[in-house]
Structure 1
């Protein structure tokens, strides 16, 4: 029997994982990887950290954990996999099972036969339909060549001002990379209403935006870039939006990516309307001899049941192993994803999984949101810090739809989000979260962990015990409209409440929760009461007291003063409460 040949197009994430898995299971197979770049098997998600200087050398992104450089020679000698770099796959002849290749250095063409073909063609950056993006000082962050060029400009001192177009994960990471280490005056621009659109809802996003601005990054949301205008001979640029002109020596566009399904489409394989290669659970395409995975496909979302594009290196590696198993004769499946996500933005960690509140509503769910701010470990432990978590649930079924959070202790936050991911995938309910078993020790968690508190809060909202108001609704009715029909009832201690009482006078009433039962006569009967504490816990207790006393005109402001301050809605210099 002839030796089976597997040809893999793409050698960054999924390709190497699939190749090595195949060779481990079937060392008799001939496995060949083809890539048009000279750099292969690198951690593209590490590019911002190379630009920032956290990763000192580009080769670190191409190294193994035991410091071997993942070169073609490494793959051939250590893994038994042949690699053809600077070689572009031009077309697939499915009838003959042949891949037509072009050697980019010589521009010669050749054919390579296959028994199995794996498409790991990745994604392509979205482009803005504006003039000026072809300027040599305008970059995308799509490969190591971009990374090296950007860092070279920064290291030479050629950049004093940078404009980053796109406030998604890459945009936020690059804002930190160019401003923190290099001291570059940085602006972040996005057409959306807040940073990290599609991932975060507005309140957590405003917390991230506030932190970016505290660290010196100017954030301009709801602005459309019109053009990039070349300046004088020194290479300066002007980024013109619909609201302002921004001077820059460097412009980075980070406006998302789309699946690179060109090769598959031209070969007659099924692709989605967005260009993603259609695959089954075994990651086979519409041709059973051709597999695909990673950024070039779309995957099933566990919550919506719809396909979505989720470009993640971790996802590509998992799918690469599945493809390798199946080609080697095994049976493995990929069921889908809830879109778990994490990013570091200066001192903040941001993480999410499932649907945002806005996305859940647009998908037709009767969505409810619970917001909790609580210490991420025992409140008496020295390294505790406040963590913000927002949970999205379906009112009718009580099913968990999504979770998102912001915290300075990143490992603690990501651990919480990861714990909820299986519940999201398996249609877990708020009761499952309320009773989720969490390993407890004061250095790591509270006896009533924030996840359990989040589930409890959602239960209380669904059951009608906790009647809530979101921070942005508080901002609108109390701070912006300043309605005379509304009074804030602050149930914290007098010292914490004093700056607010001084600022807002009769509109801010301070009655500590432990004395509330004795002072019910002091409450205005003709006003709507917005009950407030630091995080929403004492104010919930106060709300129950008010309702027991027959006062139904009160709501609990979710997240309390902590949420309002962290989101930049209100800042009083005299207030020392944390």
Structure 2
């Protein structure tokens, strides 16, 4: 699931495991052999896997032999280089679709993005230009969606991993809103990760995983990226609301409110990758504000539990002068706790995504580490 960051992909992995699929990740496949009316999958430095059938879902490699023989300029993976009119290096020869190299709409870098939507738009641009118009292709931003059993996973723009590889200074917000108003029956939790550029707050990308309303929100975010909106402007979008369809503050609005809080200095975050950097020598306060029952079902090591509803009465249990690192189930209650503590003179940092997100990612990593080529050790 390359379009998704590893932390978000963990939720897709968990959905697949829930339906009985065993995942063996992180191995290099070197080849295949027919064996015992099946297929032997040869792995580098590991025992082979036996299978009845092998499906290679490994992306697209352009088949550009004809273009090469015709002397056209080739780019990434020997894709065909075109300009913004979809014209190749040879005048009056055009190319579109999975075989062409395009500009990424967000980064401006050369990219190979094999999707039906961009291919169809490119075909229209070629037809326009052949017929005498001057149509231009603005680039691809990789908006895509996939159904994994009952789950929907969608992405647009660039993820955090690729943004950092491109040399961008980025931050993210992770939230778990309901697909529609919580008091209306049938709502489903979704997980959203929105990527934006530090300092400028340029909206770079988003990933959403859930069971209802995912495609709607990713399309809004894709439109916002194309329109050049800042991530802070997501809070201002006027989106359709009725309880069966959304909340009065749509999940996209909520992401915008969170980013706006960061921009104003109201919210300071800490992320999963900061776990090993946080001191355990009691120079900081580690505080879990979930209920006692939630805390007892699972928590991070070293965290003290004070439910948010008891925080005002027990605030003297928290030593002043030390940074307070907060966590709750989704990030909402810990944000409320942050506001209470900040109002009483504490310096606070809120965990992005909450324990729900942490638990999904950490459990996925543990299962990946326990996966062997000969099977799964559950």
Q: Shorter-chain-normalised TM-score: which range?
A: 0.7 to 0.9
Q: CA deviation at 1:241?
A: 4.1
1:465 and 2:266 are equivalent in the alignment:
yes
Moved more, 234-243 or 391-400: 234-243
Counterpart of 1:202 in structure 2 is 6
Q: CA deviation at 1:290?
A: 1.7
1:536 and 2:334 are equivalent in the alignment:
no
Within 5 A, what are the aligned runs for 1:359-508? 359-409=162-212, 412-474=213-275, 476=276, 483=280, 485=282, 488-500=286-298, 507-508=302-303
Change over 3 Å in CA distance of 1:264–1:229 after alignment to 2: closer
Q: What RMSD in Å do the two structures reach over aligned CA positions? A: 2.5
Which whole-Å deviations, capped at 9, do the CAs of 1:280-334 have from their partners, x for residues lacking one?
2222223332211011111111111122111112222222222223323444322
- State the alpha-carbon separation in 1 of the partners of residues 230 and 160 from structure 2: 16
Q: What is the aligned counterpart of 1:557 among 340, 351, 358? A: 351
Q: CA deviation at 1:402?
A: 0.8
- State the alpha-carbon separation in 1 of the partners of residues 325 and 222 from structure 2: 34
Q: CA deviation at 1:431?
A: 2.4
Counterpart of 1:263 in structure 2 is 66
Change over 3 Å in CA distance of 1:219–1:286 after alignment to 2: same
Counterpart of 1:212 in structure 2 is 16
- State the alpha-carbon separation in 2 of the partners of residues 227 and 260 from structure 1: 21
Counterpart of 1:278 in structure 2 is 81
Counterpart of 2:363 in structure 1 is 569
Change over 3 Å in CA distance of 1:257–1:523 after alignment to 2: same
Moved more, 338-347 or 327-336: 327-336
- State the alpha-carbon separation in 1 of the partners of residues 281 and 49 from structure 2: 41
Asked whether the 8 Å contact 2:327–2:351 carries over to 1, the reply is yes
- State the alpha-carbon separation in 2 of the partners of residues 228 and 269 from structure 1: 34
Q: Secondary structure at the match of 2:164?
A: helix
Within 5 A, what are the aligned runs for 1:105-144? none
- TM-score by structure 2 length? 0.87
Q: Secondary structure at the match of 2:49?
A: strand
Q: What is the aligned counterpart of 2:35 among 231, 242, 249? A: 231
Asked whether the 8 Å contact 2:232–2:259 carries over to 1, the reply is no
Q: Secondary structure at the match of 1:218?
A: coil
Asked whether the 8 Å contact 1:373–1:559 carries over to 2, the reply is yes
Asked whether the 8 Å contact 1:203–1:471 carries over to 2, the reply is no
* Bigger CA radius of gyration: 1
In structure 1, list runs of 5 or more residues that go unmatched: 1-195, 571-578
Counterpart of 1:83 in structure 2 is none
Q: CA deviation at 1:374?
A: 0.9
Asked whether the 8 Å contact 1:492–1:511 carries over to 2, the reply is yes
Moved more, 278-287 or 525-534: 525-534
Counterpart of 2:341 in structure 1 is 546
1:221 and 2:25 are equivalent in the alignment:
yes
Q: What is the aligned counterpart of 2:147 among 340, 344, 364? A: 344
In structure 2, list runs of 5 or more residues that go unmatched: 365-378
Q: CA deviation at 1:423?
A: 2.0
Q: Secondary structure at the match of 1:517?
A: coil
The number of equivalent residue pairs is 363
Change over 3 Å in CA distance of 1:375–1:282 after alignment to 2: same
- State the alpha-carbon separation in 2 of the partners of residues 526 and 345 from structure 1: 47
Q: CA deviation at 1:420?
A: 1.4
1:309 and 2:112 are equivalent in the alignment:
yes
Counterpart of 1:162 in structure 2 is none
Which whole-Å deviations, capped at 9, do the CAs of 1:213-272 have from their partners, x for residues lacking one?
22222222222224434433x335244343443221212222222223322222122222
- State the alpha-carbon separation in 2 of the partners of residues 335 and 218 from structure 1: 41
- State the alpha-carbon separation in 2 of the partners of residues 222 and 526 from structure 1: 44
Q: CA deviation at 1:433?
A: 1.1
- State the alpha-carbon separation in 1 of the partners of residues 38 and 215 from structure 2: 41
Asked whether the 8 Å contact 2:76–2:101 carries over to 1, the reply is no
